[in-house]
Structure 1
Amino acid sequence: MLTSYLSTAIRVSKKQKLHTLLNVIGFSIGIAAAIIVALFAQSQLIVDKHQPDANHVYRVHLDLRSVGVGVRGAIDPRMPQLMQKHSQIKDLLIISRIESLQYSGEPMADIVKVKDQRFKFKKAYVATPNLAEFVNISVLHGDLTQALSQPNLIALSQTESKRLFGDTDVIGRQLEYDGGSYEVAAVFADLEANTHFDFDVLMYLPKLQRGPFSSHVYLKLQPEADFNALAQEMTREMQKRAKNPNFKDIQFQFIPLTQLHFHTNGTVEMKQGGSYLALQVSVVLSTLLVIIASVNFINFNIASAAKRAKEVGIRKALGASKSQLVTQFLSESLLIVLFSGFLGVVIVELALPHFNQLIAQPLTLVYNSLFMLGLVITLTVVGLFSGLYPALFISSFGAKKVLSGDFSRGRSSARIRKITLCLQGAIGVGLIAAIGMLYQQMMLVKQLDVGYEKAQRIIIRELPSELIYQQQGNALLDELGQISGVAGWTLSDTNYATAINGGMHYTWPNGEAYDGMLAVINTGYDVIDVLGLKLITGRGFSRDYTGDWYREQQNGEAHVAILITKKMAHLAGYEKLDEVIGVTVTVPRRKLTAKVVGVVEDIRIGSVNNAVQPTSLMLGYADGETANVVLKIAEGIDPDNVITAIEQVLAVHLNRRDIEVQSLNDEFLAAHKNELYTLTMLSIFSPLAIFLTLLGIFGLASFTTLRKEKELAIRKVLGASRIGLISLVAKEYLWLSALSMVLAVPLTYWLVGEWLNRFNERINQSIWIYGVAGLLVILLTWLTVVLVTYKVASRRPSSALRYE
């Protein structure tokens, strides 16, 4: 029996070549997309699930949105430490960048010397000795717990050990720094890629008592613990102790370790996390591809049902049961889907290397038993889902009605064909319009004006502040400015592509005082020219005004000139921007007075999804141990060609070859990789979804038009012209296509609007996109109908009526 079903299925597939080809194309593309997205989703969803007790570990975040900062994953650990003895908390881990300790009063050296060569540590952190209880880490040499338990001991990653010493067996070796040395006590294997942890150097966490510092705090809770309730309890305790009234609205959040990958996108993170939006877009579109292929299959089978009607009638007359006919049609569906699955796997193998390049991730297809079982089950489910309704529909034909010729002339049959074509057109209009809006939104995010120029700019990261923040300049900066192709330079303590480093509380002479922290960028001369800021009124910083540069007097009072953004001027109550020029603001806690010398257009620091913050730029004030130099490269000069010369100058003056020098545009793109991931997913899967939808409309219009072959032949015999026949048929389908547009637009408009509400900066929905989508579907349907009708109308009527 099975052999009979298969042979019949193969015979039918050969006979209905167009039908089979369209289905195989649709299913193979949909299945290939589903496999690729499943691999991508797996790579995103397994992050940190291999850590010890991962399901019971949470990281403490601080919700600072009430003071305009956002949600931060790096906090002062003192409050969590106070609750460490809580019955629901089993253990607590603190891990912090060593740069964060400079604000605590106990800075640690991160520049060391090995055989007269100076190096800066890569990804250096201090941590509590229980790190291995939270992180799955393999120690190659030495004792990691000991390294984290004593001062002046250090643990190195395999890569960092080779960079510094050229070997990994370096226990006991010394790393000298100004005023002391570190001893290597452990070497550990490089961390796996599927974790948000990212460190190469680990050191002892000092007993910090001189002030707050920023760190990542992880809590391991009891299995029965309610993490949301515990976060609320910690929030209430903090608010009781808070002396600053602004802290009354600040809240703690606990983020599960297994979800952190989608919550680690900021300057304080060890590395940039993944994009949940990119994952959602890819999963939705790949699922849509499979659904569209299935819907096409159902519609094609129903539309061409009449071709199988006589076969069903004859087999029923010969005694075939309905269950046997259903099994026959399901076997045909499964055969097409299984063959398409094989082609889909071939497509995956061919496309995966190119896909990996686009997302910069090494995805691989592993043919293990789990994958094969999952693939077979998925294909079977898709085959049964796609084939069940057509099988039940076709097998329900009555033998007498079919064999008497009444089946194809029924109103219900025509109504079904019109409904399926109308729904397919509505899907096409909605999908094309929605993808067009989605693409427009992501392009807005990518091309949003951030208020500064990224192209032709190079940033030199983390140079000593005391070296570069000098009013008269120095030999290093002078030589950098003289490099061929460099058109100017300035200073900055802020990484414009990621986040603001600090802020201040300003009090304005008109009495305005903002409750939250206002963003401050500590910078140098020529910042307007070098960064391409847009000056609205006033002037920029000038060497002709010696009072512009930050200066502190003996009594502790200080004065500085500042530029402010338009948003800050409006926040301070100055609607007329000229009125704020010359105004002196105060920062009482720092005994600082600042004179406003100019107003610039708003600057968007960090993610383009962030709201614009009111910002000021302060000349010559160094608030940290390190800062950056930004170079402007002349037009027509490739920045990559200048970087080599910059590195040579840095090596001569600082005896270091590991200073990070990068294009500001590359840094911006790296900081926004999640938005680019989403755009990449759209560019890959959207055209495929649109193609399958239009393919379905083409096939459905073709089949339904061919159903009119006998009617057209009779009309031609009665004197109808070829043009008249084409006009008659096309008119009916134009109305159906227009109706599909009416059905699709309101629902799509509402759904897209709900999605756009997630963004701070968003497009206005363009009506013309809906018009283009509708016209595209109408045009495709019309062309298909015209071509098929022309072909049918060009035949001799006798070829269609010979058996009547």
Structure 2
Amino acid sequence: MFKHHLLLIYRNFKKNKGGFLINLIGLSAGLTCTLLIYLWVNDEMGIDRFHDDSIYQIAQNEHLTDGIQTVEGTPGILAETMAKEIPEVEIAVATSPSFWLGQSKVSANHKPAIKAAGKFASADFFKVFSFPLLVGNKNDVLRGTKTVVISETIAKKLFNSIDIVGKEMVWSNTEMQAENHATISGVFRDMGTNTSEKVDFLVSYDVLLGPDGNSGYRKWTNYGPNTYVVLKKDVQLSVFNSKIENYLSEKGVMNYTLFARPFAESYLYNKFENGKVSGGRIVYVRLFSLIAVFILIIACINFMNLSTAKASRRSKEVGVKKVLGAPRGSLILQYLSESMLLTLMAVFISLLLVELLLPQFNQITGKHLNLEFNGIFFISLASMTIFTGLLSGSYPALYLSGLKPVAALKGRLQLTAMAMFTRQGLVVFQFAFSAILIISVLIVYKQIEFVQQSNPGYNRENVVYFETNGALKNKINFVIDEVKKIDGVANVSSIDRELLGDLSFTLGEFDWEGRNHKEVIKFQRADVNVDLIETMGMEMSAGRSFSSQFISDTSKIIINEAGIKAMGLKNPIGKIFKLWGNEMQIIGVVKDFHFESFHRKVGPLFMRYKPKHTNRVMVKIKAGNIKSVLEALEDFHTRHNPAYTFDYKFLKHDYQAQYIAESRVAVLSRYFALLAILISGLGLFGMASFTAERRFKEIGIRKILGASDNNVIYMLLKDFTKPVLIALIVALPLGYLLSKNWLNSFAYRTDLKLWFFLVSGFLAFFIALVTVYFQAFRAAKMNLVETIKAD
């Protein structure tokens, strides 16, 4: 029987080559898309999941006047104190944020310094996190102020070996004011791609806390480090959270509440609104998972529609089998076998396509995905195959096996209202989803365009920056004076940290006359040099910027418009702003600029004139001089700081990096929308082709009776344009709601305009129209003799 089924399937595929190819291409494309998304989703879902489930990250809610902000930074001594005072905590670990040490420099054996990402980590780091140590004891590798643990790769680059415990390494970075000599106490295996933060070396956290106990990180009001805890068995998270909620207020720190969340969830659920999880990367995981499912369903719909549309060609086969006593179950099995075999062929093709497309897909997504034929993948692939085969073959199998023997033998099948409704509904679903994808692509594109073209409050074009280190550390004025002499440099200044997303903040350690102390305000801060505002093209709305002509500017302060508004000050110039016990006079108000992404509103910020604190040189280059200036900067750096390579960044690239997730979504959505339209168009093409073929005789008679080519084209077009129009009526409001919901994640966003939806709808309709028109035109131009002879 199985051999008989295979023979029938082969004959059917051979007889209907067009439909077979359309179905094979559609299913292959759908499965390829689904497999690529599966690999991406599987990778996202696996980030940080290899650690112990009992690890929790401590985060805190800042209760401000304008709402609750959730931040990961905590007091520097929180981990140490919680481990001592809270019995539910088994182990507590503190680490610095990754950007503190960022791309540091490490060297040894008098070799040139190399770049490496580092973090400060407390003594029990390797007891909490599951990073394998190749050399060293996890209980003591990070104890003391002079210990460092490095990765296998860094060890081999610096020493050509991993047997290096006790040897010395030098590391430096903008956070630390000098080169730091440390003793290597261990080597860990390189962190893989399944971790959210990858580092090359770990420095003992005791360096931050200081040997004398007077470090600022021992103050409860000093925030920044991340805190992780391992809870004892049988400790309920909800009970633990209730206990630690007001822990900081017990330490004299008001307006903050603590909570713990599973560390494994922090990567995917990283967005909060008013203290509650509101999304994050998980949104895109869910979105692309749905897109994969829907694209696969669209491909299955093509098989359903084409199979049921060609039912008349197979009706005699069904009739004969039923007359000879074939049970319905046998017929269902035959047609499901047909869809399963086609699906298996599509799976084989899709695996080849995935292997070919993965390099490009990795480039778009920024990942390192590859096909690994392990047990989990085979189970997922088998599930995908069975789902596709059964779904695509289910309706045709039920429909064909349910045909009446007499009607089937005569080959005169009349579609029931339910069958017509089902087929039309499937077409509506296909094009509704395709139209929604087109709308989404356009909205994402317009928002990215809005972000790129909007004025962030500073000029990001032709601005490069670099850090002063090594021989140039603490020589910021010398560096600026020398860089100004370079031909093609428009202006130069410096700042203590990266301009975008790396500003420090303070909460509550300031005051001014008339302040309402019931209001809780958070200020970002930046220490700057003279000409920073001018170099960056920022604008003053009142007062003046810092100037080297005024020696007293070290006791002055500049506040942005958002800060002045939050303070409720009118005529702020000359007013006193008390900061950390010092009286600072407001000399200027700078217009708001986006030091964070457009996802968040511009918040209060102040600038202090602290040249000695600055270590990032901001260079504004005249148009057309970028190459020559960069060469001159590298030459200057090589002459004055030969031990370090010259590393620089473009501010424009930093700005674009803030929207890397949205940019990737835009690119992927564009491909997915194109694929959905292609598969839907293939199905419509096949349906139109078969419908025209079935009505050849009718077309010939109509033309003999005087019908023009246009009459024939119109007759065939109207049957297919109706469901497409219905699909657009369904898709436009759904597309609007989805687009509005996505745009709400931006504090500053483009307006949703009517033409966005009209253009998207017209494009979907136009593609469908052209697809059907091609077949209708061919049918209208058929030879009359051939149309009359048609069966």
Work out whether the TM-score is over 0.5.
yes
CA offsets 1:303-357 (integer angstroms, 9 cap, x no match): 3333323332233233332222212211211121111111101101111112222
CA deviation after TM superposition for structure 1 residue 12, in Å? 1.3
Kindly indicate whether the alpha-carbon contact (under 8 Å) linking 1:127 and 1:148 is maintained by their aligned counterparts in 2: yes
Matched, 1:76 2:75: yes
Tell me which residue corresponds to 2:275: none
Kindly indicate whether the alpha-carbon contact (under 8 Å) linking 1:448 and 1:608 is maintained by their aligned counterparts in 2: no
CA offsets 1:206-252 (integer angstroms, 9 cap, x no match): 666433253222111134322233123101232344354xx1xx222
> What is the identity, as a one-letter code, of the residue corresponding to 1:66?
L
Tell me which residue corresponds to 1:635: 623
Q: Secondary structure, in 3 states, of the residue corresponding to 2:649? A: strand
CA deviation after TM superposition for structure 1 residue 141, in Å? 3.9
> What is the identity, as a one-letter code, of the residue corresponding to 1:58?
Y
Tell me which residue corresponds to 1:269: none
Equivalent of 1:58, from 38, 52, 56? 56
1:750-761 matched pairs, under 5 angstroms: 750-761=737-748
Matched, 1:231 2:241: yes
Equivalent of 2:538, from 533, 538, 543? 533
CA 1:492–1:331: 2 relative to 1, 3 Å:
same
- In structure 2, how many angstroms separate the alpha carbons of the residues matched to 1:462 and 1:263? 36
Tell me which residue corresponds to 1:556: none
Kindly indicate whether the alpha-carbon contact (under 8 Å) linking 1:465 and 1:627 is maintained by their aligned counterparts in 2: no
Matched, 1:487 2:477: no
- In structure 2, how many angstroms separate the alpha carbons of the residues matched to 1:466 and 1:677? 38
Matched, 1:318 2:314: no
CA offsets 1:625-674 (integer angstroms, 9 cap, x no match): x63211112211335x6445434434544564057432223333445433
- In structure 2, how many angstroms separate the alpha carbons of the residues matched to 1:402 and 1:432? 42
Q: How many residues align?
A: 763
Matched, 1:9 2:14: no
Q: Secondary structure, in 3 states, of the residue corresponding to 1:146? A: coil
Kindly indicate whether the alpha-carbon contact (under 8 Å) linking 2:150 and 2:188 is maintained by their aligned counterparts in 1: yes
Matched, 1:364 2:359: no
Matched, 1:608 2:611: no
CA 1:426–1:20: 2 relative to 1, 3 Å:
same
Tell me which residue corresponds to 1:203: 204
Matched, 1:740 2:739: no
- In structure 2, how many angstroms separate the alpha carbons of the residues matched to 1:43 and 1:442? 26
Of 250-259 and 181-190, the range deviating more from structure 2? 181-190
Matched, 1:620 2:610: yes
**Alignment gaps of 5+ in structure 1:** 102-109, 267-272, 551-558
- In structure 2, how many angstroms separate the alpha carbons of the residues matched to 1:452 and 1:133? 46
- In structure 2, how many angstroms separate the alpha carbons of the residues matched to 1:443 and 1:182? 47
Q: Secondary structure, in 3 states, of the residue corresponding to 2:53? A: helix
Of 61-70 and 301-310, the range deviating more from structure 2? 61-70
CA 1:447–1:701: 2 relative to 1, 3 Å:
farther
Tell me which residue corresponds to 1:295: 301
Matched, 1:771 2:790: no
CA deviation after TM superposition for structure 1 residue 570, in Å? 3.2
Tell me which residue corresponds to 1:554: none
CA 1:155–1:794: 2 relative to 1, 3 Å:
closer
- In structure 2, how many angstroms separate the alpha carbons of the residues matched to 1:613 and 1:325? 68
- In structure 2, how many angstroms separate the alpha carbons of the residues matched to 1:518 and 1:803? 81
CA deviation after TM superposition for structure 1 residue 365, in Å? 1.0
CA offsets 1:392-431 (integer angstroms, 9 cap, x no match): 0122111212334542376665555544444444333333
Kindly indicate whether the alpha-carbon contact (under 8 Å) linking 2:109 and 2:159 is maintained by their aligned counterparts in 1: no
Tell me which residue corresponds to 1:721: 708
Matched, 1:568 2:563: yes
CA offsets 1:447-506 (integer angstroms, 9 cap, x no match): 55432233311122365999658xxx7322211222343322111123223232134655
CA offsets 1:518-576 (integer angstroms, 9 cap, x no match): 222221222233212244454443344444x31xxxxxxxx2142x33333433446xx
1:330-349 matched pairs, under 5 angstroms: 330-349=336-355
> What is the identity, as a one-letter code, of the residue corresponding to 2:191?
L
Equivalent of 1:787, from 770, 774, 780? 774
CA deviation after TM superposition for structure 1 residue 607, in Å? 3.3
CA deviation after TM superposition for structure 1 residue 301, in Å? 2.0
CA 1:721–1:151: 2 relative to 1, 3 Å:
closer
Matched, 1:521 2:526: yes
Query: Taking every aligned residue pair, what percent have the same amino acid on both sides?
Result: 23
- In structure 1, how many angstroms separate the alpha carbons of the residues matched to 2:471 and 2:576? 25
- In structure 1, how many angstroms separate the alpha carbons of the residues matched to 2:688 and 2:107? 75
Kindly indicate whether the alpha-carbon contact (under 8 Å) linking 2:65 and 2:521 is maintained by their aligned counterparts in 1: yes
Q: Secondary structure, in 3 states, of the residue corresponding to 2:615? A: strand
Kindly indicate whether the alpha-carbon contact (under 8 Å) linking 1:500 and 1:606 is maintained by their aligned counterparts in 2: no
Kindly indicate whether the alpha-carbon contact (under 8 Å) linking 1:122 and 1:200 is maintained by their aligned counterparts in 2: yes
Tell me which residue corresponds to 1:41: 41
- In structure 2, how many angstroms separate the alpha carbons of the residues matched to 1:137 and 1:419? 53
- In structure 2, how many angstroms separate the alpha carbons of the residues matched to 1:426 and 1:615? 46
- In structure 2, how many angstroms separate the alpha carbons of the residues matched to 1:99 and 1:405? 73
CA offsets 1:361-387 (integer angstroms, 9 cap, x no match): 221112345434432332122101110
> What is the identity, as a one-letter code, of the residue corresponding to 2:90?
K
Kindly indicate whether the alpha-carbon contact (under 8 Å) linking 1:44 and 1:274 is maintained by their aligned counterparts in 2: no
- In structure 2, how many angstroms separate the alpha carbons of the residues matched to 1:162 and 1:423? 57
Equivalent of 1:591, from 562, 571, 582? 582
CA deviation after TM superposition for structure 1 residue 587, in Å? 1.4
Kindly indicate whether the alpha-carbon contact (under 8 Å) linking 1:278 and 1:674 is maintained by their aligned counterparts in 2: no
1:393-472 matched pairs, under 5 angstroms: 393-404=399-410, 406-408=412-414, 414-445=420-451, 448-461=454-467, 463=469
Kindly indicate whether the alpha-carbon contact (under 8 Å) linking 1:352 and 1:364 is maintained by their aligned counterparts in 2: yes
Kindly indicate whether the alpha-carbon contact (under 8 Å) linking 1:306 and 1:408 is maintained by their aligned counterparts in 2: no
CA offsets 1:778-797 (integer angstroms, 9 cap, x no match): 33333344332332233345
Tell me which residue corresponds to 2:174: none
> What is the identity, as a one-letter code, of the residue corresponding to 2:60?
L
CA 1:495–1:715: 2 relative to 1, 3 Å:
same
> What is the identity, as a one-letter code, of the residue corresponding to 2:326?
A
Q: Secondary structure, in 3 states, of the residue corresponding to 1:129? A: coil
- In structure 1, how many angstroms separate the alpha carbons of the residues matched to 2:92 and 2:580? 34
CA deviation after TM superposition for structure 1 residue 75, in Å? 1.1
Q: Secondary structure, in 3 states, of the residue corresponding to 2:498? A: coil
- In structure 2, how many angstroms separate the alpha carbons of the residues matched to 1:251 and 1:677? 35
Kindly indicate whether the alpha-carbon contact (under 8 Å) linking 1:446 and 1:675 is maintained by their aligned counterparts in 2: no
CA offsets 1:752-790 (integer angstroms, 9 cap, x no match): 333433333333333223222332333333334433233
TM-score, with normalisation over the residues of structure 1? 0.85
Kindly indicate whether the alpha-carbon contact (under 8 Å) linking 1:459 and 1:662 is maintained by their aligned counterparts in 2: yes
Q: RMSD over aligned Cα, in angstroms?
A: 3.6
Tell me which residue corresponds to 2:32: 32
CA offsets 1:565-610 (integer angstroms, 9 cap, x no match): 3333433446xxxx6463423115332222233432x211233322
- In structure 2, how many angstroms separate the alpha carbons of the residues matched to 1:99 and 1:349? 35
> What is the identity, as a one-letter code, of the residue corresponding to 2:183?
E
- In structure 2, how many angstroms separate the alpha carbons of the residues matched to 1:569 and 1:261? 35
> What is the identity, as a one-letter code, of the residue corresponding to 1:607?
S
- In structure 2, how many angstroms separate the alpha carbons of the residues matched to 1:162 and 1:649? 31
CA deviation after TM superposition for structure 1 residue 682, in Å? 2.1
- In structure 1, how many angstroms separate the alpha carbons of the residues matched to 2:425 and 2:179? 83
**Alignment gaps of 5+ in structure 2:** 172-177, 273-278
- In structure 2, how many angstroms separate the alpha carbons of the residues matched to 1:171 and 1:360? 35
